[in-house]
A and B are shown apart, each in its own frame.
Chain A
């Protein structure tokens, strides 16, 4: 054991004082100023006042409202955030864009409903930032 401790001490003393002091913290990486990034997409049936999804799920019934909450980080004026919903056959079910000017974390919700009921099958919500697709989520209507 004393030998092990000695090695540790020697290794510690061997560190140069002028080495960079930055280190990986394991925490979230702050986005560069002037950009908005999508941190996460949550889908479910309802939305709270703070735009978080209530009861997240990817399985829906035909009469459900489909809700997607997009968590973004970063700051940039006039950022176009788009939700494009597609059906399994490739049809675009709906597309909607919110222009936002976030300052840090923000949540944007998109919801779609169909009074006559959703056809059963697989759907995907594609999220685009300024026209560029950045993330998708799959969901199923049963």
Chain B
């Protein structure tokens, strides 16, 4: 029998703390993407657009150290690697 049920307000809420989970897919896992810098872009703007968080600009910078010497200076036309799950 289950160790915990709840059918009314008098009974404790069901406890799901011991639930185990897993997942898998036939689809390939995440992969790095590329992004071509547009006029007016900066790393924070790209990070916000891609990850929803401008503070993740450093992840883009780290993945493109060979292309970006100064993180405050990126050039239109540069193709940057966008790491997955930054």
Contacts and interface: CB of A to CB of B under 8 A. Distances in A.
Contact of A116 (B18, B24, B26, B33): B18
Nearest to A93: B16
Nearest to A106: B27
Given A89-B13, A91-B13, A93-B16, A83 B23 contact: yes
Contacts of B4: 116, 119
Contacts of A109: 23-25
Interface string A37-60: 000000000000011000000000
Most chain A beta-carbon neighbours within 10 Å: one of B16, B28, B85? B16
Interface string A2-33: 00000000000000000000000000000000
Contact of B27 (A101, A113, A117, A118): A101
A91 B21 contact: no
Interface residues of A, number: 36
B39 interface: no
B19 A100 contact: no
A134 interface: no
A94 B6 CA distance: 18
A87 B6 CA distance: 10
B84 interface: yes
B26 A119 contact: no
A119 B17 CA distance: 12
A114 to B, nearest CB: 5
A106 B33 CA distance: 20
A102 B28 contact: yes
A113 B5 contact: no
Interface in A88-118: 89, 91, 93-94, 96, 98-103, 106-118
B13 to A, nearest CB: 6
Interface of B: 1-7, 13-14, 16, 18-31, 33, 84-85
Interface of A: 50-51, 62, 72, 77-78, 81, 83, 87, 89, 91, 93-94, 96, 98-103, 106-121
5 nearest CB pairs, A to B: A106-B27, A102-B27, A117-B2, A108-B25, A100-B27
